[in-house]
Amino acid sequence: MKKIDPILIRLREFLGIRKDTELCEIWGLKYGTLNTWKARDAIPKKKLENFAKEHNLSLDWIMNGSKAQEKFKDTISFPYFPNIRASAGAGYVNEDDAGYISYPLSYANEILKVANLKSIEMILVDGVSMSPTLQNEDVIFVDRSDIDVKSHKIYVYLFEDEVYVKRFIKRLDGTVEIKSDNVEYGSEIIDKDSLKSMNIIGRVVKNMRLEDL
Architecture of domain 4-72: Orthogonal Bundle (1.10)
Distances in Å between the Cα of 174 and the Cα atoms of 36, 67, 137, 169, 170 are: 60, 57, 33, 10, 7
> Yes or no: is domain 75-212 CATH 2.10.109.10?
yes
Per-domain residue ranges for the chain? 4-72, 75-212
SS3 per-residue string spanning 72-90:
HCCEEEEEEEEEEEEECCC
Q: Cα separation of 16 and 10, whole Å? A: 10
Q: Cα separation of 65 and 89, whole Å? A: 49
pLDDT per residue as tens digits for the range 17-49: 888 999 999 999 999 999 999 999 999 999 999
pLDDT per residue as tens digits for the range 44-64: 999 999 888 888 788 888 887
